[in-house]
């Protein structure tokens, strides 16, 4: 295709002194392509850094802001720049840098009965925030719902993130991941981790699909990959993505063992190993409704729990007792004493901790 045939865009910039603007943008790294009229120039068309600018002395518009993306800002300036025509040039990183804020510890309870609205998110999915405070931006926990099943209008993408979990709460969803074989069905009770920047795509879902999605940190970049096609030809389950391997846990293949809290058993997801101790995920269920009284605490940085089934009373130190049921969620900060009482025989909990290994202290 010739350069004359493809479509371009131009950003219009006003000008009070065309000569000064041409000199300024030339020094910045743009090149002059066209100028007219020749006897008394009023318009200069310049290009640089993938952007074409149309500098016009007769333009009736305000000066815009240009983002100049670079990993070497020192080559340009130590501060943002202002052109003679008033255009602001902001120097921003070309490569997205993941920033995980320090956790702001807080006791938090989120109840399904709060009637908070579901928000329409990516690919038309409905999102409900399970940790509105987000602990200072250190984590996001979302309850995601797709009411109407069928093909999902998703594209191949990846997340620049520290940790991400997809837990299938209800229904099923068809997924495909980079170097992890053909598409597969994630059923209720199953979960996967999405290691940093692994390419993936949501293909299809059942009616009334519900998943719990955990992301660390809360704010992270999602990037569309327009070139990769999934599934990939290679199958490399051992591949590490920034130190983490892909982990798929299936309910039907799991084993139950004694949990860290008496009166419960849990199934191990192997996520602690796959993430190299970044996080662990346990699904625990009650063995008895008449346990001995237990007051416990933990030393994890983040301990998030979602009530999958049943109900319980949660009593935390210096807090009002909370009556919780399925769909509710809570966060217990480190070293806070708490106890779970009066729970139903069908109580089942999804617990996510960061880091993966932590200590539980029994006070009674």
At 7-41, the pLDDT tens digits run 889 999 999 999 999 999 999 999 999 999 989 99
Q: What average pLDDT does the segment 336-364 reach?
A: 95
Q: Which CATH class is domain 253-362?
A: mainly beta
Could you tell me which residues come within 8 angstroms of residue 228 by beta carbon, excluding any fewer than 6 positions away? 156, 178, 199
pLDDT at residue 364 in the model: 74
Would you say 90 and 66 are in contact if contact means Cβ atoms under 8 Å apart?
Answer: yes
Residue 322, SS3 per DSSP: strand
Q: Are 181 and 231 in contact (CB under 8 A)?
A: yes
pTM score, two decimals? 0.89
Q: Which two tokens stand for residue 357?
A: 């290994």
Check pLDDT > 50 for residue 176.
yes
Q: Which helix (H) or strand (E) holds 22?
A: helix 18-28
Q: How far is residue 357's CA from residue 349's CA, in Å, rounded to a whole number?
A: 18
**What pLDDT digit, counting tens, does each position of 285-319 carry?**
999 876 678 999 999 999 999 999 999 999 999 99
Mean pLDDT of 130-148: 95
Q: What does the pLDDT average to over 62-83?
A: 94
Rounded to whole angstroms, the Cα distance separating 13 from 45 reads 10
Q: What pLDDT sits at residue 3? A: 56
Calculate mean pLDDT across residues 107-132: 84
CB 197 within 8 A of CB 225: no
> In the chain, what percentage of residues exceed pLDDT 70?
97
Residue 275 confidence (pLDDT) above 70: yes
Please answer whether residues 18 and 57 qualify as being in contact, where contact means their C-beta atoms are separated by less than 8 angstroms.
Answer: yes
> Where does the chain hold its CATH 2.60.120.10 domain(s)?
116-239, 253-362
Please compute the mean of the pLDDT values over residues 331-336 and round it to a whole number: 98
Q: How far apart are CA 108 and CA 131, in angstroms?
A: 7
Beta pairing partners, 282 = 268, 351
**Phi, psi for residue 114 in degrees, rounded to 5:** -65, -15
Tens of pLDDT along 224-260? 999 999 999 999 999 999 999 999 999 999 999 999 9
Q: What is the pLDDT of residue 291?
A: 67
* pLDDT more than 90, % of the chain: 87
- CATH number 3.10.180.10 is the correct assignment for the domain at 11-92: yes
Position 331 confidence tier, pLDDT thresholds 50, 70, 90? very high
Q: How far apart are the first and last CA of the chain?
A: 76
Give the span between the Cα atoms of 197 and 160, in whole angstroms: 5
Task: Examine the pLDDT at 333 and tell me if it is beyond 80.
Answer: yes
pLDDT above 50 (res 137)? yes
Nearest Cα neighbor of 146 from 165, 129, 130, 169 is 169
Ranges of CATH 3.10.180.10 domains, the chain: 11-92
Q: Is the pLDDT assigned to residue 1 strictly greater than 50?
A: no
From residue 259, give the alpha-carbon distance in Å to each of 43, 79, 272, 299: 73, 54, 15, 17
Please enumerate in sequence order all residues whose Cβ is within 8 A of that of 176, keeping only pairs 6 or more positions apart, or say none: 182, 183, 184, 200, 201, 203, 230, 231
User: 116-239 — its CATH code?
Assistant: 2.60.120.10
Q: Which 8-state DSSP code applies to residue 233? A: S
Q: How far apart are CA 33 and CA 180, in angstroms?
A: 48
> What's the mean per-residue pLDDT of the chain?
94
Q: How does residue 102 score in pLDDT terms, banded at 50, 70 and 90? A: very high
Which has the minimum average pLDDT: 42-56, 97-111, 212-226, 287-301?
Answer: 287-301
The answer to whether 241 and 216 have CB atoms below 8 angstroms apart is no
């Amino acid at each position: 295709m010739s350069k004359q045939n493809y479509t371009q865009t131009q950003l219009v910039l006003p000008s009070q002194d065309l000569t000064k603007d041409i000199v300024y943008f030339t020094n910045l790294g743009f090149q002059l392509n066209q100028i007219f009229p020749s006897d008394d120039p009023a318009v200069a068309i310049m290009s640089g850094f993938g952007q074409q600018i149309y500098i016009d002395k007769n333009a009736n518009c305000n000066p815009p802001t240009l983002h100049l993306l670079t990993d070497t800002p020192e080559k340009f300036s130590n501060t943002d720049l202002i052109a003679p025509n008033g255009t602001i040039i902001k120097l921003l990183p070309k490569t997205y840098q993941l920033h995980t804020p320090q956790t702001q510890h807080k006791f938090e309870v989120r109840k399904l009965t709060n009637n908070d609205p579901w928000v329409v998110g990516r690919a038309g999915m409905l999102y409900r925030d399970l940790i509105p405070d987000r602990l200072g931006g250190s984590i996001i926990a979302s309850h995601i719902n797709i009411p109407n099943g069928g093909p999902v209008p998703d594209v191949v993408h990846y997340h620049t993130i520290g940790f991400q979990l997809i837990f299938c709460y209800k229904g099923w969803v068809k997924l495909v991941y980079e170097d992890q074989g053909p598409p597969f069905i994630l059923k209720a009770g199953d979960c996967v981790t999405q290691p940093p920047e692994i390419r993936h795509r949501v293909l299809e879902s059942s009616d009334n699909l519900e998943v719990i999605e955990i992301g660390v940190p809360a704010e992270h970049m999602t990037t569309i990959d327009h070139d990769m096609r999934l599934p990939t030809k290679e199958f490399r389950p051992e591949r590490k993505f920034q130190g983490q391997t892909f982990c798929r846990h299936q309910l039907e293949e799991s084993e139950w063992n004694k949990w860290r809290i008496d009166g419960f058993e849990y199934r191990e997801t192997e996520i602690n190993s796959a993430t190299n101790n970044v996080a662990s995920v346990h699904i625990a269920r009650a063995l008895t409704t008449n346990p001995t009284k237990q007051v416990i605490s933990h030393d994890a940085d983040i301990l998030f729990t979602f009530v999958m089934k049943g109900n319980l009373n949660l009593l935390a130190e210096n807090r009002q007792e909370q009556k919780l049921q399925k769909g509710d969620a809570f966060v217990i900060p480190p070293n806070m004493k708490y106890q779970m009482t009066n729970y139903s025989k069908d109580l089942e909990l999804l617990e996510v901790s960061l880091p993966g290994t932590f200590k539980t202290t029994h006070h009674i």
